[in-house]
Structure 1
Amino acid sequence: MAGPTTAERGERQKLESGPPRLPRLRPRPRTFIILLCAVVLAGAGSVWVLYGSPWLRVERVSVSGTRVLTEGQVREAADVSLGSPLISVGIDEIEARLRQKLPRIDSVDVVRSWPHGIGLKVTERTPVLIVENSGNGGKYVEVDAKGVRFATVSDAPKGVPVLELAVSRSAAALRRFPEARLVREAVRVAGDLPAAVARDTGTVKVRSYDSISLELSGGRTVMWGSGEKGSAKARTLTALLKASPGARHFDVSVPTAPASSGS
């Protein structure tokens, strides 16, 4: 039997060796240099646009969310330099300045408003209690829901109870329940009051940790006890006020065993 022909052997060798290899293309040095220069120029151009050009600079500072503070007070405390590159404005530094200079500010959101603005969205603290400062011309210190004393005002805000601290000043009592903790307990009680009762409350009086009372309009009083079980006490007090509209004294210190009396 005759073997393969020369042509057949050539075809078989081509199949066994696979497809022909293409020559590897190497980038030319000139092409690489051109690409590198383009990248460097693009980066330098971006930096110049952000920091050196007149197109992205601070021209205005907008303020929102103020209630007691004025927009001018917030702008002055923020101390943003007009004309500076917008990208270079320190967001964290502005927030820190505002909190330090304006304690009434609880939080602030500082945003860049491209291409020319800085936005300051302010959230002010809301007083839940006030403390009479007899040593400062009869002014009042506002206390927020976190127990922070944040502002002194000449006139008492409407609908905000006065906090009266009538606690023992003995060293042992103060070590166990420091004044700051008692203030937080009073704030806790004020926050748990039903809306109708809160509007009717003139004074929150603290004698000790577990002896907090309320003075309502019309000479009515409420023994609240400690700040614990506030929701249950609020529900019980609401029911007592409805069931005994003529009563003058209420005791919800133990919400499962409340009491009321008319004298």
Structure 2
Amino acid sequence: MSRRTIAIVAGCIAFVLAVAAALPFTPAMPVDSVNVDGAVNLPVQEVESLAGIEAGTPIGRADVRGAAHRVAGNPWVESATVKRNWPNAVDISVEEHTPVAWIDQSGQPHLIDSEGTDFVVAEPPVGTVQLVNIGEGQMRQAVEVASSISDPARPQVRELTMEGEHSFVLKLQDGRAVTWGASEDNRNKALALETVLQLPGETFNISNPELVTSR
């Protein structure tokens, strides 16, 4: 193969590579879809709006870093990842704060996650336990108790309050009461709670989960 032929072939390859490299930045490779995963309490449409990536945008020009920053700026969002899914999609993965409890402050519901973070003012989702008459010094322990309540039992618990300085009490949606006791051995108490929810009676004590009492 002559040097001239080699030069022509090399030039053609370079041209093709240049076109291929430029293609994602042209209307020939537009964003056709924005896929959102992990949004539970935050509407998918709101995540898409926050991302600000319009359909038809050349995928190479989609500002994925800026989109991740904007989505993560929403108070519901703990973290967000945005990446191109070649050739024509953008994927957004959201990790939300999970509300386990809420407190009423001046008539506004403040949602609290399992880390004790007051992260947003919003309508409490089903299964979020209201903390009532909990002192600042007991807030961490109250959140620990609220976090440990199992998913099957959670919708049946209306509020968590205190009886004395170290004993927590659950008020159920049907008016019954369950004395939880201190924030300790919470896993076994959560299992005991699932059991007593199936039993007749008005008041229960699971402060010792191996010796549950009711009346």
TM-score where L is the length of structure 2: 0.74
Q: Residue 240 of structure 1 contacts residue 260 of structure 1 at CA under 8 Å; is this kept in 2?
A: no
> CA RMSD, aligned part only?
3.6
2:177 is aligned with what amino acid? R
Question: Which of 198, 205, 209 is the matching residue for 1:250?
Answer: 205
1:44 is aligned with what amino acid? A
State the secondary structure of the residue aligned to 1:47. Answer: helix
Shift of 1:223: 2.9
Name the structure 2 match of 1:10.
none
Q: Residue 163 of structure 1 contacts residue 186 of structure 1 at CA under 8 Å; is this kept in 2?
A: yes
Whole-angstrom CA distance in 1 between matches of 2:18 and 2:164: 67
Percent of residue pairs identical: 24
5+ unaligned residues in a row in structure 2: which ranges? none
Name the structure 1 match of 2:120.
151
Matched, 1:186 2:142: yes
Shift of 1:119: 4.0
Matched, 1:223 2:180: yes
Name the structure 1 match of 2:213.
260
Name the structure 1 match of 2:102.
130
Name the structure 2 match of 1:167.
135
Matched, 1:112 2:105: no
Shift in alpha-carbon separation, 1:97–1:186, aligned structure 2, 3 A: same
Name the structure 1 match of 2:12.
38
Q: Residue 223 of structure 1 contacts residue 250 of structure 1 at CA under 8 Å; is this kept in 2?
A: yes
Shift of 1:108: 4.4
Question: Which of 174, 180, 190 is the matching residue for 1:234?
Answer: 190
Shift of 1:141: 1.4
Whole-angstrom CA distance in 1 between matches of 2:117 and 2:38: 20
State the secondary structure of the residue aligned to 1:147. Answer: coil
Q: Residue 165 of structure 1 contacts residue 207 of structure 1 at CA under 8 Å; is this kept in 2?
A: no
Matched, 1:55 2:28: yes
Q: Residue 72 of structure 2 contacts residue 79 of structure 2 at CA under 8 Å; is this kept in 1?
A: yes
5+ unaligned residues in a row in structure 1: which ranges? 1-26, 169-173
State the secondary structure of the residue aligned to 1:214. Answer: strand
Whole-angstrom CA distance in 1 between matches of 2:71 and 2:76: 9
Shift of 1:140: 0.4
Shift in alpha-carbon separation, 1:61–1:198, aligned structure 2, 3 A: closer
Q: Residue 142 of structure 1 contacts residue 152 of structure 1 at CA under 8 Å; is this kept in 2?
A: yes
Shift of 1:105: 3.0
Which has the higher relative contact order, 1 or 2, with Cα contacts under 8 A spaced 6 or more apart?
2
TM-score where L is the length of structure 1: 0.63
State the secondary structure of the residue aligned to 1:36. Answer: helix
Shift of 1:193: 2.3
Whole-angstrom CA distance in 1 between matches of 2:163 and 2:5: 84
Higher alpha-carbon deviation: 91-100 or 144-153: 144-153
Name the structure 2 match of 1:16.
none
After superposition, give the CA deviation of every residue in 1:41-80 in whole Å (9 maximum; x if it has no partner). Answer: 22222123222x3201335545566454444422321122
Shift of 1:93: 2.9
Shift of 1:197: 4.0
Whole-angstrom CA distance in 2 between matches of 1:115 and 1:28: 38
1:132 is aligned with what amino acid? D
State the secondary structure of the residue aligned to 1:235. Answer: helix
